[in-house]
Amino acid sequence: MAADKKQESAGLSLRARTALAIYRLSFGVAGLAAAATVPWLSLYSRRVKEGFADFLGQVSRCDGRQIFWIHAVSMGEAMVAYGFVAELKREFKDCKIIFTSTHPDVIAGARKRGLASVTAYFPLDTQISMSRAFERWQPSAVFVSETDFWPEFSTQCRQRKIPLYLLNGRISISLAAFYQQFPGLSELVFSAYSLLAVQTETDASRLQMMGVESGRIAVMGNMKADLTVAPGSVDLNPFKNWFASRQAVVMGSLHPPEFKMLLPAIKSLAASGRALIVAPRNPAFAAEWQQILRGEGIETCLRSGNIVSSSVLLLDTMGELAAVYALATVALVGGSLVGDVGGHNPLEVIQQSVPLLMGPNCRNFADLVGELKKADAMICCGDCTEVENAINRLLDNSDLAAAMTSRANQVLAANKGALFRTLQLIKEHFLNHFPPKIRL
């Protein structure tokens, strides 16, 4: 035990070791306080009901010569992970995959795809839970998709000398500011990473400001540019039948304040005979939004129910939006109009050769959006009136829409290749640093 502790802290500064001690104590106290709520939460929380054993590290064992652990939280991050896993399995043909997430729908999607030998909820970031999971899985390498960082998780990788890689990393302003305030915690988390493959130079500079050495950072581009919806993965016939011959508008990943803002435009477009698919970022809002729309006299149905003749279809399912964009005449990507979300993925729209609208708050995809704006390949809208006017312009002018999508396709082509570059870089690093006896 003493040897383990000595190995665990090797190479860490005093402030990082102090941060680890405080973190473990704080997490332990919080865990004791939360324990009393477990019986109640198990009745209402799908995560607790399905993942309680996983949270404690009581995960299914995985035996194999080479085991890769992939972790992703959101649906977008999971799509990156799925694409990477498919390529990883081509390169390492005998490997076994462990996939974890904290989101029930992502877990369900991963199980449906069957890419992993084990799919589980991410264990609680405590020393006991993480140690138990690492002992049961004994991964050869660990991969985190985009942005989900945990001190104990990193510590276990460092302690066990397991390569830890960041895929398609995205470092937000708020994340960078947090870790700059707590340099000990930053060292604890990021010094464990063997390689941090990030999307942009901005992400790289923020990591460096957080104290990460430049030699462990690689700017690779956005892997989402290489990911397309597999043909036939979503049955689009119900949507096509619902659209019939109407022009189609898709408003994707909207947050409640955006829905409220856009309500007049939705009402106006519906009255003009256009068909609208509105996708809440959180499907749980769909039923409430249906009542609001019906209160405004707008015929509305839910994707999860009977798709009947109506002006608006609320997409309250997960994993279909990217495919549905292909049916749109024009599409708006939410998380960009109101608040500080930072915008959701515009690549899902331009990959389908559909004219793109977004709001002004797009920091999550700032570089890509900047390229699209410079190429006049998207329209940026500041409020409801601008959104409605832009939609009508594109619906009424097919030449304008075609020119926009053509320019967007050029931007998309220039951004492709990140998946291949990332895989090759990580493969080279892994094979150069891993014990030769278990190389493929």
CATH number of the domain residue 318 falls in: 3.40.50.2000
Q: Which residues of the chain, if any, have pLDDT below 50?
A: 1-8, 436-440
Total domain count, the chain: 2
Same domain, 327 and 404: yes
Same domain, 211 and 300: no
Angle 420-422-426 from CA coordinates, rounded to 5°: 120
Asked if residue 8 is part of any domain, the answer here is no
Please, which residues have CB within 8 angstroms of residue 301's CB and are 6 or more apart in sequence? 290, 307, 308, 310, 312, 313, 314
Both tokens of 385, joined, read 């009136």
User: 69 forms bridges with which residues in the sheet?
Assistant: 98, 142
Supply the pTM of this predicted model. 0.84
Asked if residue 393 is part of any domain, the answer here is yes
The pLDDT of residue 112? 87
Asked if residue 186 is part of any domain, the answer here is yes
Same domain, 193 and 96: yes
Residue owning tokens 């009542």: 291
Same domain, 337 and 373: yes
Query: H/E element holding 333?
Result: strand 330-333
Sign of the alpha-carbon torsion through 360, 361, 366, 368? negative
Same domain, 411 and 431: no
Same domain, 206 and 266: no
Same domain, 354 and 391: yes
Asked if residue 430 is part of any domain, the answer here is yes
The pLDDT of residue 42? 59
The pLDDT of residue 33? 61
Q: Are strands 217-219 and 248-254 parallel, antiparallel or unpaired?
A: unpaired
CATH number of the domain residue 426 falls in: 3.40.50.11720
Same domain, 431 and 359: no
Asked if residue 399 is part of any domain, the answer here is yes
- How many C-beta atoms surround the C-beta of residue 22 within 10 A? 14
Residue-wise burial string across 267-282, b where 16 or more C-beta atoms lie within 10 A, e elsewhere:
bebbeeebbbbbbbbe
Same domain, 423 and 410: no
Same domain, 321 and 351: yes
Rounded Cα distance, 138 and 140, in Å: 7
Cβ atoms of residues 295 and 259 within 8 Å: no
The pLDDT of residue 39? 60
Same domain, 131 and 245: no
Cα dist. 132→30, 129, 180 in Å?
20, 5, 31
Which residue segment(s) compose the domain that 215 sits in? 52-221+418-438
Asked if residue 6 is part of any domain, the answer here is no
The pLDDT of residue 11? 77
Asked if residue 16 is part of any domain, the answer here is no
Both tokens of 362, joined, read 């797009």
Asked if residue 391 is part of any domain, the answer here is yes
Query: H/E element holding 78?
Result: helix 75-91
pLDDT tens profile 300-322:
999 998 888 899 999 999 889 99
Same domain, 122 and 265: no
